[in-house]
Structure 1
Amino acid sequence: MGLIGEVLLLPFAPVRGSLWAVGQVLAEAERQYYDPAAIQAELARLEQRLEAGEIDDDEFDSQEDELLDRLEISLRGSAGSGTGTAG
């Protein structure tokens, strides 16, 4: 498309820039969501809440399962990061 295409798409530059920024924010949010250290810290806080009586065993088990699933996805993803998508 070249120069003419860039000139024609110039009015859409703010939209393209916004989409890029949103993509960057989403990528960072996903990185933090699947960060093994953050997940382990959440597991520790969850156990503290159980010991303090803030949550019952059922709630603990439910949240622990979710965190362990995230941790498994994180570890699977980092193991396959050099070769593309894991699965």
Structure 2
Amino acid sequence: MLITVIRTGGFAGGERTASLETECRPDGPALERLAERALADEGPVGRDLVPDAFGYVVHIDGKVVDLQDPYLTEAQQQLVDAVLAEAA
């Protein structure tokens, strides 16, 4: 499973992109389950944009979800953190 996260916004307004392929990773199955939960979870309805917050576009095997801080579910936050850590 290929997971890509594009983070935009924040105080500096920059963009950061990171990807990971779960296939050959020892933690791959756990990341795949986390990705499935992140896709299934929905944040609060009627979300207002928060100034200087991060926005995320998450691509998971052809599916795309748009997320916004501070409205990420626990699974979504864990997934975003795990993928962005790959680029660090």
Is the radius of gyration larger for structure 1 or structure 2? 1
TM-score, normalised to structure 2, is 0.27
Q: Which structure carries more helix by proportion? A: 1
TM-score, normalised to structure 1, is 0.27
- Relative contact order, higher structure (CA 8 A, sep 6+): 2
Q: Which structure carries more strand by proportion? A: 2
